[in-house]
Structure 1
Amino acid sequence: MNAPATENLDPVINIDENEESIENNDIKLEENPFEQKKRKRTSVIWNDFNEIILPDGTKKVQCIHCLKRLAFSNNGATQYHRHLKGCLSRKLADKKQKQLAVNKGGVESEVAIANFKYDHAKIKEKASHMILVHEYPFNMMKHEVFNVFMKTVTPYYQKISHNTARNDCISTFELKKKKLKTMLGSVNRVNLTADFWKYGQKIGYMCLTCHFVDSSWKLQKRIINFCHVPPPHSGVVISDAIFKSLLDWGLENKVCTITLDNANNNDAVVRILKDAIKRKLMLGGKIFHVHCCARIINLLVQDGLSEIETKIENVHESVKYLIASEARLIKFGEIAKQLPSKKLILDFPTCWNAICNVGYCLGV
């Protein structure tokens, strides 16, 4: 008795619970000679699908391109055709369908034509740059109109989740930091600028900026740290925060000067950093501490404003009185028609130019 022919039987794949990829662990089920032989499938749709059996015995149909599993059906292949029509993995794998990308050069006559290939990894990279440069929220990638716009640009676009966008931004930061470290490795000396301020609930921040001349003799400026500095903001705490940043970037022996304001605790910062830096400083460290010119100018202006402190207080109270009532603002607008159109705003105590703007608005 001849053995039954098996070449016309459909391939059936059994999925084990511990399998991570069906492509690497395909196991053929043994054919039962007593079962009725299955009818040969003639549809070309089965060139892109495999019939699989899950551990619980459920039959599924899996796309060989994107590995998506669809419900098994004996009543037609409409859903399978619909899936193949929108399957991005199949479109990208189809080498027969190529598009042309036209790249224009600086001159109108220079036009380069090449085969277009959608690169989702490149899209994710540029999306992270967009988020970081423009300070967009991560969930912007889920905005409906933005995704419609991207689908209009290219039908191959795949949505990016906010978690993916966040991880991509971290990866971009780490990559840029690595490149900057390589650049700073070839620099002999750097100059630092440190700025400290408090915001909101008395939370202290430090911004540490590095200035240097690169190999092309171009002046470069990079922020190498922006961090929270816990109180008390003594010379020891501030110098420790700065020196940790220098160790992280490998700049502890490359510092030439550091620019700080004239606060008393900064004198202790400079003294501690001088002892911590092993490399010999220029001119014996006489020019190591550069005093902030903006801070000096601000102190000069504040000293001059103290002579008209009473008039400034009157301006403050006048603005508060006017903006407290809509009727007063309307009346003030009728009186001040001869003045340029300005909004009444309160000044910032630490910004002397804001005080001048408020005085100008009131015509004093």
Structure 2
Amino acid sequence: MVDNSSNPLLNQNDGEAVPNSTPDCPSKLRSHVWQHFSKANVNGVSKAICNYCKKQFASGTNSGTSHLSNHYERKHKKGSLRQQVLKNNFNKENPQLTSYTFDHDTAKKELASAIIMHDYPLSIVDHVGFKRYSLSLQSLFKVPCRNTIKGEIFKIYDYEKVKTLSLVESNQSRLAIMTNMWTSSNQKRGFMAITAHFIDDAWTLQSRILRFTYVPCPHTKEVLCDTLLDCLLDWNLDRKISYITVDKLHK
């Protein structure tokens, strides 16, 4: 009979010989879940840190790995794909080999940005050809519905509005406001575009579209003035205006 009690490489766990799991030997952590987590000592407490979101979990001798596996399965397995890819950032001269992580939320934001930048219709997400194209690029990406992508666009708008508000409030110069009326060719509906022009603190001309809004008929001067005033109050610009240029007002 062989006595293994003196062998430092073996521990007894329900009669099974397993390798020691020490901080000095992370490669000997036997569970597959440790491919996605790293062990660390945080304030004297052993922690498991997710390699993707950096969230910390208990990793003591009595903690097990079920909670780690559940976190990975629920948060990262279906939405993450890590691989080495050539990343050139649209610069063909200096491509770099880097780690790529697929993130579904980021993909949705980029799709919403593309729709805004190129004036694509929201119906593009319903096109079979677009769905097949997206699937060929990334099989994990689920093309969102119109309402979902519309929500992403409004999130981008809210984010950009906060940035512009901060820029305008901190800027020392006044603003020149310009309005234009526009009529859609297919529905014959009137819209007003309100644009602010100003010189920032670096003496650079800035132009920002504050609002592009539907204006119901009739387009009288009272209706147009109310629409413009509502925008100025919403952006808190009523006391920072130098002059206003408007279309010819209707009687």
When the two structures are superposed, what TM-score results if normalisation uses the length of structure 1? 0.43
CA distance, structure 1, for counterparts of residue 188 and residue 129 of structure 2: 39
Between structures 1 and 2, the one with greater strand share: 2
Aligned to 2:133: 149
Q: Deviations over 1:194-252 (max 9, x none)?
A: 22356678754322111112233221222212223345544443322212111111111
CA shift, 1:98, in A, is 4.0
**Length-normalised TM-score, structure 2:** 0.60
How far apart in 2 are the matches of 1:256 and 1:168? 34
How many residue pairs match? The answer is 182
- The answer to whether the aligner puts 1:138 opposite 2:125 as a matched pair is no
The aligned residue for residue 214 of structure 1 is 200
Structure 1 pair 263/104, CA: closer, same or farther in 2 (3 Å)?
Answer: closer
Matched letter for residue 191 of structure 2 = Y
Query: Which structure is larger by alpha-carbon Rg, 1 or 2?
Result: 1
Verify: 1:65 aligned to 2:73, yes or no: yes
The answer to whether residue 212 in structure 2 is matched with residue 223 in structure 1 is: no
Is 1:104 the counterpart of 2:88? The answer is yes
SS at match of 2:197: strand
Residue deviations 1:294-330, cap 9 Å, x none?
xxxxxxxxxxxxxxxxxxxxxxxxxxxxxxxxxxxxx
Q: What is the match of residue 243 of structure 2?
A: 257
* Separation in structure 1 between the aligned mates of residue 222 and residue 79 of structure 2, nearest angstrom: 59
Letter paired with 2:160: K
Separation (CA, whole Å) in 2 of partners of 1:244 and 1:232: 18
Cα pair distance change 1:91/1:238, threshold 3 Å:
closer
Q: Residues of 2 paired with 1:198 and 1:169: CA distance? A: 23
Check whether the contact 2:219–2:250 (CA below 8 A) recurs between aligned residues: no
- Select between 154-163 and 198-207 the one with higher mean Cα deviation: 198-207
CA distance in 2, matches of 1:182, 1:150: 36
RMSD, aligned α-carbons: 3.4
5+ residue gaps, structure 1: 1-6, 8-46, 48-63, 67-87, 266-364
Between the aligned residues of both structures, percent identity stands at: 27
Q: Which has the higher helix share?
A: 1
Give unmatched runs, 5+ long, in structure 2: 1-13, 15-65, 67-71
Structure-2 change in CA distance of 1:126 and 1:189 (3 Å) = same
1:193 matched to 2:178? The reply is yes
Cα gap change, 1:221 to 1:232, in 2 (>3 Å): same
Cα deviation digits, residues 30-88 of structure 1 (max 9, x gap): xxxxxxxxxxxxxxxxx9xxxxxxxxxxxxxxxx935xxxxxxxxxxxxxxxxxxxxx9
Q: Quote how far apart the aligned CAs of 1:92 are.
A: 5.4
| Structure 1 segment 297-312 matched on structure 2, within 5 A | none
**Higher RCO (CA 8 Å, separation ≥ 6 residues):** 2
